[in-house]
Amino acid sequence: MYTLITVLIFIICILLILIVLVQNSKGGGLASNFQSSNQIMGVRKTTDFLEKATWVLAGSLLVLSIMGSAFIPREKMIQQQSRISNQIENAIDPTQVPNFPITAPESESGDAAPAEEAPENNN
């Protein structure tokens, strides 16, 4: 259902773009082609139709957007959230101070390496 609503939203968006581009704010656009002849659908009727179509498409876009948000698949989101939360819990804190060993490492013979003493200055 979510996919169907998404496809309908894309179709309505394209139609809405085309209808808005056909209109001209200064009285031109598609309506300007009918100024010389007075047919069944005259200048005024064309602008009325384009305005009503714009409002209908905008309203249907709003309704389909709200319906689309209601039909978002939630099960996949829960699985992804658990993966993300596992990564967050197992992440290493980059601001953490590393733990350095306090004692000197043992030599190969098993004894601790003797600390060298600084020579005393007898002046």
pLDDT, tens digit, 9 for 90 and up, residues 28-82: 555 555 555 445 555 567 778 888 899 999 999 999 999 988 888 777 666 666 7
Residue 108 has pLDDT above 80, yes or no: no
Nearest of 25, 21, 27, 19 to residue 43 by alpha carbon:
27
Q: Which residue pairs from 49-55 have beta carbons closer than 8 angstroms and sit at least 24 positions apart in sequence?
A: 50/19, 50/22, 50/23, 51/23, 53/19, 54/16, 54/19, 54/20, 54/23
pLDDT at 19 over 80: yes
pLDDT at 107 over 60: yes
Phi, psi of 62 (to 5 degrees): -65, -45
CA gyration radius for the chain? 37
- pLDDT for position 13: 94
DSSP state of 13: H
Q: pLDDT grade, residue 106 (50/70/90)?
A: confident
pTM for the model: 0.48
